[in-house]
Structure 1
Amino acid sequence: MNSGWVTGGVVFAGVLMMLNGLLDVFRGIMAIAKDDVFVSTPNYVFRFNLTGWGWIHLIIGLLLAATGYFVVTGSAWARYVGIGLASVSAAECFLSLPYYPLWALIVITLDVFVIWALCVYRPETE
């Protein structure tokens, strides 16, 4: 049986996924349209073309927002996909750490919460 914290946590995780996905879409659009908005880090080990990085953010953001919607509606498959996408999102933010370090750390922390909330929730069977 799930406690109120766990049930509320999975709904909150779905909402966080939708919000994170939407913000990732905007971040991707910014990087695609005008990549001089981001700080350049020339000696970073994981250096990427910011326009290509923008497309990665855009695609992951769209998938994350859509999956978050299905998590909120209670789809079982969405929890499993959400765990995977939140993991990818955390890795993506780790790789973009030098461009926006504070934002990346916040998103990584929220992704860890999302993973936890989706892992501990067990749907009640009748």
Structure 2
Amino acid sequence: MTKTQVPVPLAEMTEGSGRWTGWVVFASIMLVVVGGINIIQGLAALLNDSYFVVRSGNDLLIANFDTWGVILVVWGAVQAGAGLGLNSGHGWARVLAIIVAAVSMIIQTLFLAAYPIWSVMIIALDVIVIYALTARWAEARGGL
């Protein structure tokens, strides 16, 4: 009979996990926060086209604001879900979080026309999240 391993929340991994656990917890929290902000940003794009200051007509690079609003709301929910799964200690969430952060960089690149400073900040946070989830992962997990 094999023993099923129960996910251990990252916040509870203290023995042998060192400082890298903090980086992973940071990554999970940032995914949830940025996901929440993307949901708000998406709702703003859906509900009020004039909210975005920098515009060129009704399009935001390749789509109108309503399309971007839907994309950002859905994407924000995926980001928040990945962050919550990562903080719960699920192994699948690490892979999902890395993919989410990488795709987020592409989405924010496409969103540069509306908010360039915001997009650059989110891209930088995504880079930090990917670093936190790839560098010394075994040490962060405490050998589990």
Shorter-chain TM-score above 0.5 = yes
1:31-50 correspondence runs (5 A): 31-38=45-52, 39-42=54-57, 46-50=61-65
How far apart, CA to CA, are the structure 2 residues paired with 1:53 and 1:73? 30
Identity of aligned residues (%): 32
The alignment status of 1:15 with 2:33, answered yes or no, reads no
Structure number having the greater helix percentage: 1
Contact 2:38–2:75 (8 Å) recurs in 1: yes
1:60-75 correspondence runs (5 A): 60-75=75-90
Q: Which residue of 2 aligns with 1:107?
A: 122
Q: Which residue of 1 aligns with 2:74?
A: 59
Q: Which residue of 2 aligns with 1:93?
A: 108
List runs of 5+ in structure 2 lacking aligned partners.
Answer: 1-15
How many residues are treated as equivalent by the alignment? 124
In the TM superposition, what is the alpha-carbon distance from 1:124 to its structure 2 partner? Answer: 3.4
Give the aligned CA root-mean-square deviation in angstroms: 1.8
2:63 alignment partner, SS class: coil
The TM-score, its normalising length taken from structure 1, stands at: 0.90
Report which of the two structures shows the higher radius of gyration computed on alpha carbons.
2
Q: 1:75 to 1:111 in 2, by over 3 A?
A: same
How far apart, CA to CA, are the structure 1 residues paired with 2:60 and 2:35? 26
List runs of 5+ in structure 1 lacking aligned partners.
Answer: none
